[in-house]
Amino acid sequence: MLTCDVAVVGIGGVGSAAVASLAKAGANVIGLDRFSPPHIHGSSHGQTRVIRMAYFEHPDYVPLLRQAYRGWSDLEQATRRQLYYPTGVLQIGPESGEVIAGTLHSAQEHQLAIQRFAYDEIASEFPGVVPPEDCIGILERDAGYLLVADCIAAYLDQARQHGATIKTDSPVQSWTRTGDTFELRTDTEVIQAKQLVVCGGAWATQLLADLNVPMTILRKHLYWYENEAPAYTSESQFPVFLLETPQGIYYGFPQLDSEGVKLARHDGGEPIPAADRQHQQEDAADRQAVEAFTAGHLPLLSQNLVRREACMYTVTPDHHFLVGTHPEHEGLHFAAGLSGHGFKFASALGEILCDLAITGQTSSPIEFLSPRRFS
């Protein structure tokens, strides 16, 4: 039987950061995953993730984002890799819509630097973009994208260097608690841990079912389109963007490589019953919606699809995360239900889970993410 101070179940986006933080803090930590991260079976794949600070989802995320930006920068320095690309993020939508009103609210509350563009200015500054009528644009310069697989690989390298044990292809089949010890079973091993950190992504619907918060797994699609138009390669003319239209919220990235321009729809998605039943087949209606969006708003982009991937959002009833210590199991800490916007926070969530496992508390403001809000 293996013993450790802390076992981390799930070492994808958030768990890789948690296991690295714990190892750096000197804990005897074991990280386990059912696959071999970074992998394409969960929620942390598909080349890039948007990171931005003027957070339309809620201003209370901004202090956590400040912590996250610091965390990514620390990881870049420690591992000497560039993980964050500050292309800027351009958000376009009606002034009273979810994206623009929310972004302005966060920027004002936290005095964040943003630049505003009137409708006509969008077309002259960003010539490949045709905004919907009556929209304005907001550019946040200290924002951009993270290379998702490289971030996970960097954290796992760092964790190993600081003495963590990493067990891949080791699904945790069950856990029990006896006294103050957790006992975890994989197909081949039993592991005893004083503290348990659960970062199971879409499998949290099973691993954390007793939180009694209904989480929906949505299958989402990412598309890469061939591009020869300079309008979509220059970051100054085509930063990462989010565009709210009457048909939905779409986002995309400047062309990074020969695979073209990556685009996706943020809202919508197909509910699936369980994470293990994710399949990669195409969703024709979703692709049609993305291509109608492209034809209307990115008219210089080719419609030749060069790559497509499916991925999972794990969505809570209010689209905000679940982070904290389990109300019924002292010593069990989690980050779950990241609702399609959690990767950018992984560096902060890893530190927070490390604080909770080592000291039982954190100075980071996570109270608004407690599952108690649903009880």
> Which sequence positions are flagged as catalytic?
45, 48-49, 262, 266, 311, 344
Contact between 361 and 355 (Cβ < 8 Å):
yes
Least Å distance, CB 45 to ligand FAD, is: 8
Least Å distance, CB 339 to ligand FAD, is: 7
Which of 182, 203, 223, 293 lies at the binding interface for ligand FAD (CB under 6 A)? 203
Using the structure block, give the residue that is written with the tokens 């907001």. Answer: 138
Q: How far apart are CA 336 and CA 217, in angstroms?
A: 12
Q: How far apart are CA 64 and CA 68, in angstroms?
A: 6
Least Å distance, CB 259 to ligand FAD, is: 16
DSSP assignment of 22-50, as one string?
HHHTT--EEEE-SS-SS-SSSSS-SSEEE
> Which of these, 89, 17, 98, 115, lies nearest to 56 by C-alpha position?
98
Least Å distance, CB 72 to ligand FAD, is: 11
> Is residue 10 part of the contact set for ligand FAD (CB under 6 A)?
yes
> Is residue 265 part of the contact set for ligand FAD (CB under 6 A)?
no
Kindly identify the residues of this chain, within the stretch 31-70, that bind ligand FAD according to CB under 6 A.
32-35, 37, 42-44, 46, 49-50
Least Å distance, CB 134 to ligand FAD, is: 26
> Is residue 144 part of the contact set for ligand FAD (CB under 6 A)?
no
**Buried b / exposed e along 249-282 (16+ C-beta atoms within 10 A):** bbbbbbbbeeebbbbbbbeebeebeebeebeeee
Of the two residues 127 and 171, which places its CB atom closer to ligand FAD in the complex?
A: 171
Tokens of 146: 């993270």
Of the two residues 27 and 312, which places its CB atom closer to ligand FAD in the complex?
A: 312
Of the two residues 95 and 263, which places its CB atom closer to ligand FAD in the complex?
A: 263
Provide the angle, in degrees to the nearest 10, between the axes of the packed helices 148-161 and 13-24.
Answer: 30
Tokens of 29: 């930590």
Residues lying near ligand FAD in the complex (CB under 6 A):
9-10, 12-15, 32-35, 37, 42-44, 46, 49-50, 171-172, 199-201, 203, 207, 220, 222, 264, 311-313, 338, 340-344
